[in-house]
Amino acid sequence: MRVGVVGLGLIGGSLAKVYHEQGHTVLAYDREQSITDFAVMSGVCDAPLTKEDLAGLDLLYIALYPQAAIDYLRQAAPDIGKQTVVIDCCGVKKIVCDACFPIAEQYGFTFVGGHPMAGSHKSGFKASRANLFHGASMIIVPDRFDDILFLEKIKALVMPAGFGRVTVTDADNHDRMIAFTSQMAHIVSNAYIKSPTAGSHKGFSAGSYKDLTRVAWLNADMWTELFLENPAHLLYELDTIIDALAAYRDAIAQGDADTLHALLEAGKQRKEEVDGIR
């Protein structure tokens, strides 16, 4: 299989590495020529991805920020082969799919929204690794859901990366769920670490502190774009947690042990429910 990768950051670099390890021909491009050159020189990919190569690809991953991914596809579309399946790797899907499905239809190739559910607090090609996606979920957003053979083809294309499962959904549901499972986690972590007390945590912190603060170390450029491209779903989750936190605060301020105990017990029970413990 001939695989193209556009963008050699954490996600794109990891895709290039794992597909190359699996024996596929990998052609890659990064806007920083030095990164493309290093990827080729170090054997991560077979050659730079050029405009002329686009017509012969079986699979093309676009691992860029959302607007950059849209802009790239719009510019590259006339040169992409009709047999090529294009998958983006952006953290929001509606804005990307709404723009890219019509482009693919116009030029006769296949576009599928994608979101590899794997990452790191570190970014860039230097942080990429071939096992990044091992056991992770790959979310795909197709333009049709009633063609089993088509969906099986897409699954076969992405599975060499080592994903543990493929989740199929629509763009709006993806963005609704990601606002809760990913975007909110980054906001809460980033806000929590701003406490003046954080500077004195050494010697007083253990696993809970590490778990809650891990994703505070984030790529501000990327997450700013992702948050602002998913405002409705993200604001719903923010309002929900603000209301919940206010209830805990009121109970503590009023010395209301019964209410506080009920809130804590309800949270514990909810955790058990959503994780299928009971």
Mean pLDDT of the 206-227 span: 93
Mean pLDDT of the 128-143 span: 96
For residues 162 and 266, state if they share a domain. no
Q: What's the CATH number where 200 sits? A: 1.10.3660.10
pLDDT at 102: 98
**Domain count of the chain?**
2
For 18, the domain range is: 2-169
Which of 135, 152, 169 is at the close of a domain? 169
Mean pLDDT of the 247-257 span: 98
Under DSSP, the state recorded for 149 is H
Q: Mean pLDDT score of the chain, rounded to an integer?
A: 95
Shortest CA distance to 84 belongs to which of 106, 54, 40? 54
Q: End-to-end alpha-carbon separation of the chain, Å? A: 45
At residue 115, φ and ψ (nearest 5 deg) are -150, 100
pLDDT at 120: 75
Mean pLDDT of the 79-102 span: 98
For residues 149 and 180, state if they share a domain. no
Q: Which residue has the higher pLDDT, 204 or 33?
A: 33
HSE (CB half, 13 Å, CA atoms) of 57? 29
121 has pLDDT over 80: no
Q: Record the pTM.
A: 0.92
Q: Using pLDDT thresholds of 50, 70 and 90, give the confidence band for residue 142.
A: very high
Mean pLDDT of the 121-141 span: 92
pLDDT at 278: 63
Give Cα 173 to chain centroid, integer Å.
Answer: 14
For residues 209 and 259, state if they share a domain. yes
For residues 153 and 83, state if they share a domain. yes
Q: Using pLDDT thresholds of 50, 70 and 90, give the confidence band for residue 234.
A: very high
The DSSP annotation for 157-191 comes to: HHGGG--SEEEE--HHHHHHHHIIIIIHHHHHHHH
